[in-house]
Amino acid sequence: MHGEEDANYKVPQREPLHVQKEDLDAGALFVLKSKGSWMHCGYHLTTSIVAPPLLSLPYALTFLGWVGGISCLIIGALVTFYSYNLLSLVLEHHAHLGHRQLRFRDMANHILGPRWGRYYVGPIQFTVCFGAVVASTLLGGQCMKAIYLLSNPNGTMKLYEFVLIFGCLMLILAQIPSFHSLRHINLVSLLLCLAYSACATASSVHIGNSSKELKDYSLNGDTQDRVFGIFNAIAIIATTYGNGIIPEIQATIAEPVKGKMFKGLCVCYAVVAVTFFSVAISGYWAFGNRAEGLILSNFVSNGKPLVPKWFVLMTNIFTILQLSAVAVVYLQPTNEALERTFADPKSKEFSARNVIPRFVSRSLSVIIATTIAAMLPFFGDINSLIGAFGFMPLDFILPVVFFNLTFKPSKKSYIFWLNTSIAVVFSALGVIAAIAAVRQISLDAKTYRLFANV
């Protein structure tokens, strides 16, 4: 594969070899079962990308304005769709050669060297995925609290109590044995994200049409605030498009894998096009620069819903249900690591030898995530930092680097320079977005309190 022409780095047609079952560790054998179709892959991809953080997109637009905001959304969609396809092609190529790779760190070990996988890609992916579980648990608790306050405005229950309730739901879902077992849950999740996006869009349009206030689309703050705001918004959009588990999702596809990931990505990005743009545009149009960090917060003013109460309740319930599916998907890399450490691949999957360590270790990981979410209700600020340090490398930079190192396109070819440009631009954006996130944390630090009832 050292050719000079574009034709030379096309993925081969046949896949004669595959990973032998006896070579697999317990994590790959039990959690990353290769049994799914391209449609199941589409469900997993949609759940991991089209998640409730998309309800923050109108807020991101308050820092970018109409032109900048829509441009960033389009660029984010194009670059991630392209990057995820490149990652898929690299995985297909290695599968053809008889080295099917099931995890992101396996790819890094093979392409960049063992230290990259162990000390860079592995820890970053674990932090991003576990951070997504904590963020989903916190957001689930906040949505539950919103429902409670609508029903009982003078209620005394605190946010951490709702986070604990959501954590109990997660304890049950975490015991689902493998990634492939989530396919039906993730189909329901796909329908739920369409449902709450439609509800959020309809609410924004209704409130925007009935409001007598003039809509203000000007950018707030002085020059410094605006500049940092732009990079903060870019981090929000990158995190919203972020995935971080493409190899693990492709690992669930039954052989031959060729072309299936592309079909799955097409399913996912059809949903992205419908949900991201409708929620972002309608929310920013309706509320202008008053759009909140979560657009659902704009639907209630001084404790009174601006749309029918049942509609706000329904939107929140759809969001909570999908958050549980998103959290379970992002638990899979943790589950895989736990299974690899504590399970015995020579024993049966549901033998007492494997079931007891699985139950204990997964329950502990959920308890830790729930405790962090309850203790740190300002985790959103921390998550934007994780997004800048984690999602940027995993989803924007490493795929193009892996492709160039695997297929070695000619330095005269457009694809080499396109990939190199993406890597350089998004490396710079990642660093600046991380600085913006740290600044935001330092500005908000005076309001931080453990177990705060925000």
Stretch among 81-85, 128-132, 216-220 having the lowest mean pLDDT: 216-220
Positive or negative, the CA dihedral 426, 428, 431, 437 is negative
Helical H segments across 8-56, by residue range: 26, 38-49
Residue 40 lies in a domain: yes
pLDDT at 19 over 70: no
Give residue 326's domain range: 36-335+342-447
Stretch among 29-38, 41-50, 172-181 having the lowest mean pLDDT: 29-38
Residue 379 lies in a domain: yes
CA gap 145, 453 in Å, rounded = 10
The residues pairing with 36 across neighbouring beta strands, listed in sequence order, are 253
- Contact (CB, 8 A) for 253 and 38: yes
pTM to 2 decimal places: 0.90
Share of the chain above pLDDT 90, in %: 63
What total number of domains does the chain contain?
1
- For the chain, the average pLDDT equals 89
CA gap 376, 366 in Å, rounded = 15
- Contact (CB, 8 A) for 292 and 301: no
Nearest C-alpha neighbor of 109 from the set 403, 101, 27: 101
- Structure confidence at residue 23 (pLDDT): 65
Length of the chain: 454
Nearest C-alpha neighbor of 312 from the set 290, 295, 334, 330: 295
Q: State phi, psi for 253 to the nearest 5 degrees.
A: -85, 135
Instruction: Read off the pLDDT of residues 350-391 as tens digits, 9 standing for 90 and up.
Output: 889 999 999 999 999 999 999 999 998 876 677 778 778 888
Residue 113 lies in a domain: yes
Which CATH number is 285's domain given?
1.20.1740.10
Residue 452 lies in a domain: no
DSSP state of 195: H
Q: Which residue has the tokens 């992101």?
A: 104
Residue 60 lies in a domain: yes
Rg (CA), the chain: 22
Q: Which residues contact 370 (CB under 8 A, 6 or more apart)?
A: 137, 163, 164, 166, 167, 170
Question: Which segments within 292-355 are labelled E, that is strand?
Answer: 300-301, 304-305
Question: Which segments within 178-287 are labelled E, that is strand?
Answer: none
pLDDT at 395 over 90: yes
Which pLDDT band holds residue 21 (cuts at 50, 70, 90)?
A: very low
Nearest C-alpha neighbor of 19 from the set 333, 331, 179, 253: 253
- Structure confidence at residue 78 (pLDDT): 96
CA gap 105, 449 in Å, rounded = 36
pLDDT at 179 over 50: yes
Nearest C-alpha neighbor of 218 from the set 286, 290, 301, 281: 290
Q: Which two tokens stand for residue 437?
A: 């996130």
> Which burial class, exposed, middle or buried, applies to 34 when counting CB atoms under 10 A from its CB (0-12, 13-18, 19+)?
buried
Residue 287 lies in a domain: yes
- Contact (CB, 8 A) for 390 and 434: no
Residue 12 lies in a domain: no
Residue 22 lies in a domain: no
